[in-house]
Amino acid sequence: MLCVVTILDIVQSFSLDKWSGKKCYMVAARDLVIVWADAPNYWKWISLPNSRFEEVAELVSVCWLEIRGKIDTRLLSPSTMYKAYLVFKSTTAAYGFDYQPTEVSVGLIGGAEPTKQTVFLDADRGRTQSYQIVPGRVGIFRRSRILGLQVCQPREINDNQYPKERADGWLEIGLGEFLCEGEEGGELEMTCLQTRGGQWKGGVIVLRH
């Protein structure tokens, strides 16, 4: 049975799966470990009318994106396959996510090495390429970019690597799966990292894991 663990709004939210009766949890943004979350130049905490949590985290601008969430496995239903998601929303001013890989993982702390995978947080499914020119760094230049044209270059796309829109209008991206056998204890950690390359990014609202 596949159940869902999501992370991103303020306190833990608990529900039962409609069909199986299995436990499902949402971990709020305030319960996540977000690097520089308390620095207003990088993140700010806001309230949204359509959120089930009191506060959500809005990314202002960072070059190091690191989000970690944890949950005690004793809270989960035994003999159940869980899937973790990051639930978020892009603002109209979002930038820096197109064509930038993000490493995600799910695994027990202190257990076997978690399986890592690459996803993309750009809501337009990464179809559009853009390049950032930063003083003092090597940039990628394209004539059409300099002329102000938007270059669309098709590339092979795995739909599972890109966000999907939920019924409530938020986006979700899968972080990985975890089989809760019911015998092991400990903390399950979910990670979302975009820390390579120094690409600045902003304009994303994190609801929950």
Residue 123, phi-psi category: left (phi > 0), alpha (psi -120 to 50), beta (remainder): alpha
- Tell me: pLDDT of 113 over 60: yes
Q: What is the per-residue pLDDT for 182?
A: 77
Between residues 130 and 165, the one the model is more confident about: 165
Residue 180's identity, in one-letter code, is C
Between residues 18 and 140, the one the model is more confident about: 18
- Tell me: pLDDT of 10 over 70: no
- Tell me: pLDDT of 131 over 70: no
User: Which residues partner with 89 through β-bridges?
Assistant: 205
pLDDT confidence bin for 184, thresholds 50/70/90:
low
Q: What is the per-residue pLDDT for 167?
A: 87
**Cα–Cα distance for residue pair 205/172, rounded to 1 Å:** 12
Quick one: tokens of 182? 């019911």
Q: What is the per-residue pLDDT for 21?
A: 60
